[in-house]
Amino acid sequence: MSVVANQDSWRVPRQFRFLRRIAHNAVFADFVLEGDFLYNGKSQGGVLIRGSAEAWIPWLHGYKMDIDADMPGTGHIHFPYRPQPNPGVVQFPVGVWQHFAIRATGQDVSVKLNGKEVIRFRDDHYRYGCMCLEGEKGGLRYRNLRVQPLDKGAPPGRRSPYTEFFDSAAPPVWQTSGKVSFSNGMIDLDGNATQASVRFARMASPDAIELDVWCKRRSGSAAPYRIGFLSDSASTGPCFTCRNNRVLSCGTGQCTSQFPMFMETTCPECWRFELTGKRIDAYRFGEKVMSCIDSIPKGAGLCVLADSCELLVRGARIKSVVPLSKR
């Protein structure tokens, strides 16, 4: 194994300067990363693998093993952002050095804590990327970091089979209405006074569409936001109304199943829509919440609308055998 704790191997990207994160200079695909961390139980941090050092929100562009507080005297590790659903939470005592080993081979990722495998998942989002370390307020220390590459040569092909609708460095190709802004890698739709919406580039034969959003509603409000796949001219097509504890179909097609209401949350949400022919399956945090039969118009674009609330769009991506067409 090679040592990765050498100071010259790490850098602080521009957007990391106020976030207490560092990124390794090398890019890894298949590997084993191991080391030790010491957690005080009063803050949070983590280890990001196959990430993007250029992203303003790096944990949405890789796999982050989050290290956070749990019950008094304990902390836990988990992967809160990807994959979905979350593969589980593992506790450990604070104030004691913990040895971890993360193994990534192809779509398979596993984590050992103190020699025992505690997390394993399979995901197709990211094939290679950089490593990042995070530790806020001095709550995390790392030591004895080593990595063993398991592949030879440069990683092949694209980093991900998904195409991002926008990246962190520049505003997306879009159409907007109402009060919409872009900063810090996020789109802010302020629909508190009047509706605000954004329409992304046209989609070509999508297999799946994903959105990472955070709805900031007034206290006690169930104000909705909408996610739709609408035509350019008539604004017709399937659309989903997302409230604080349920999702409703407001398209022109037929809802074939509606699952029980889900737990109310004020935290960021991860949505995934899988499209097979005329069938659309909607997933929230990796759990199916609705299926419907509807037709997506040719040349439709992904649309997001905020109504009586503020909505932050933190990421949007498409998986398709055909790349996004230009407007």
Tell me which range, 3-7, 55-59, 269-273, is most confidently predicted by mean pLDDT. Answer: 269-273
Question: Which contacts (CB < 8 Å, 24+ apart) does range 78-84 have?
Answer: 78/119, 79/119, 79/121, 81/212, 81/270, 82/123, 82/125, 83/121, 83/122, 83/123, 83/125, 83/286, 84/270, 84/272, 84/283, 84/285, 84/286
d(CA 288, CA 281): 7
Condensed to tens digits (0 to 9), the pLDDT of residues 36-46 reads 999 988 888 89
Sequence-ordered list of residues with C-beta below 8 angstroms from that of 69, at least 6 positions apart, any chain:
41, 42, 43, 44, 75, 76, 94
List, for residues 217-235, the tens digit of each pLDDT value.
Answer: 765 566 788 898 887 665 6
Tell me the domains of the chain and their CATH numbers: 2-160 (2.60.120.560), 163-320 (2.60.120.200)
Output the pLDDT for position 252: 56
pLDDT digits (tens, 9 = 90+) for 125-176: 999 998 888 887 667 889 999 999 998 766 668 888 888 887 665 566 788 9
**Structure confidence at residue 18 as a pLDDT band (50, 70, 90):** very low
pLDDT at 205: 72
Mean pLDDT of the residues in the chain: 81
